[in-house]
Amino acid sequence: MLNVSYNTKKLKAVCTRIEEAQAQLGPGPAAELHELLAEAESFLTVDELIDFRGGDILAGDSLSFSFGTHYRAVFNAVGEKIPREVDGSVAWGQVRRIMLIEIS
């Protein structure tokens, strides 16, 4: 199972308490965010989530997923040793831990 953590207590509150998410984002986007997180935790690797959800690989060790009409959740790969491809990019098919760093 993919492990999702949160960069701040505020992000964790939005992502673990639907009432907080609804207050911050509105009912529709809050439900979609919580669905995204549930989907993430149902996969073994980030690659599976990307294939299912259509995420965008960003610079560095980050990726994002759109939700709602204009929000996106940005995640970083985390761990002591992030798996890498030969070219130095993240080997998302081997990543099992991500951290939500931003909702914008």
- Average pLDDT (84-90) is 93
The model's pLDDT over 41-58, given as tens digits with 9 standing for 90+, comes to 999 999 999 999 999 999
Looking only at the bridges linking them, the beta strands covering 97-103 and 3-6 are parallel
pTM (predicted TM-score): 0.94
Whether pLDDT at 23 is above 90? yes
Q: Hey, how many other C-beta atoms are within 10 angstroms of the C-beta on 39? A: 15
- Average pLDDT (8-26) is 97
